[in-house]
Amino acid sequence: MPCFVGCLALAFPRLALFLVWLFGGGYLARAYDSWIFPVLGFFFLPTTTLAFAFGVNSLSPPGQMSPLGWLLTGLAVLVDIGLLGGGGRSAQKWRDSRDRTDDR
């Protein structure tokens, strides 16, 4: 089951974050002191939010973050930035192709 959730998190991070919140039993609450960071993470950096929660809850002693957890969180930031950049690039290509067809 954890492998399925991990694959789901990479393919659909917002869905995975929602499911962890819904069925996690306080998994996000143990990682974050406030509700605002998971909510902001849902909209802006969902993979990073999941990676940080995993690092705090599963890779280190309670209340601490291991170096492996920080490495995983850093990689998740890069994944989120790549997802944002890829979406922007494909939107620009779509706008360019739409403009070319409108000119004809």
Structure confidence by residue, pLDDT tens digits, 51-88: 999 999 988 887 789 999 999 999 999 988 887 676 66
Residue found under tokens 């601490």: 64
For residue 14, the enclosing domain spans: 2-103
CA 99 vs. chain centroid, Å, equals: 33
Tell me: the pLDDT tens digits for 25-59?
Answer: 888 999 998 999 999 999 999 999 999 999 999 88
- Total domains in the chain come to 1
Count CB atoms within 10 A of the CB of residue 63. 8
Q: Which pTM does this prediction carry?
A: 0.78
